[in-house]
Amino acid sequence: MNALTWNDGMGSRSRRAWLLLVCDATDSIVAFNGDTIPGYCVVAGHDSVKAGKWSSTTYRIVLAPGVRPIAGHNGWETGRVVEGLADAVKASKTPDTWEEVSALLGVSVPATMEFLRAWRPRAAAALDTVREQLDSLGELADAEAERVVVRFGHPSRGAIREGFWASPKPIPQRPGAALRLVAEDGDWELGNVEVAGAVGEVLSVEWTAGMHGGYVSVSVALAPAE
């Protein structure tokens, strides 16, 4: 049996810590809750430190055979659990779809859905939205859609005065196509960004903190060019 030591201390930017226990044999996942979980782990002991906001408990855990841990915090940039999952498993990008999250966890899509809907309903709802948007591409299969990420930001003061944050942003991979705000007085956020000049759907919008508004990364699924 494998032993594990895990601390539930909050990360910087008040990022919540979490520990997932994955059982490949049963294609299932549970979130560690501080207690023994039959079939997954036994808590052999723990030590707590009281420090106000930074109080934490270190758990000494014995894992059941065939159970593997995934430990992490919510994402640094967005606070989203899917960003934190990508960091925890050292993935190259934040997952945008149920299939991508499933691949990082190493379990089936149905198992991923069942777990995430109960553990993080808001994250599950965001992934459902992406699936609906991909489905709206009509007869295009998801695998046929071209995934691109458009990143922009850190404008000069002059560019801000000239309306940088409200102006459309070209999609370099598709001449003539651009991202634009649905409501120009709104923010670059999911639901207020659309694709113009091409058939496509916005999958996610993420902000990165920085000067003059920071940076925005928009993930888009585009129909193949004719």
d(CA 163, CA 160): 5
Which residue among 135, 167, 202 closes a domain?
Answer: 135
For residue 170, the SS3 value is strand
From the list 5, 9, 3, the residue with the least C-alpha distance to 46 is 5
Joined tokens for residue 114: 């069942």
From the list 84, 206, 89, 209, the residue with the least C-alpha distance to 220 is 206
Using N-to-C axis directions, what is the helix angle for 98-105 and 109-119, rounded to 10°?
A: 100
Residues 97 and 147 in one domain: no
Residues 76 and 178 in one domain: no
Q: How many domains does the chain have?
A: 2
Residues 149 and 87 in one domain: no
Residues 127 and 150 in one domain: no
pLDDT of the residue at 146: 83
Q: What is the mean pLDDT of each run of 10 residues along the chain (226 residues)?
A: 90 89 95 96 93 89 96 88 94 91 95 96 91 67 73 90 92 90 86 89 84 87 78
Residue 54 identity = W
Which 8-state DSSP code applies to residue 197? S
Using N-to-C axis directions, what is the helix angle for 81-88 and 121-135, rounded to 10°?
A: 90
Give the residue numbers spanning the domain of 35.
2-135
Residues 71 and 156 in one domain: no
Residues 92 and 201 in one domain: no
d(CA 200, CA 187): 20
Residues 87 and 72 in one domain: yes
Residues 114 and 163 in one domain: no
Residues 84 and 195 in one domain: no
Residues 118 and 146 in one domain: no
Which residue among 135, 161, 186 closes a domain?
Answer: 135
pLDDT of the residue at 143: 53
Q: How far is CA 51 from the centre of its chain?
A: 30
Which 8-state DSSP code applies to residue 97? S
What lies within 8 Å, CB to CB, of 53 at 6+ separation is 10, 14
Neighbours of 138 (CB within 10 A): 7
Residues 115 and 153 in one domain: no
Which residue among 72, 101, 135 closes a domain?
Answer: 135
d(CA 105, CA 28): 10
Residues 86 and 146 in one domain: no
Which 8-state DSSP code applies to residue 128? H
Overall pTM > 0.75:
no
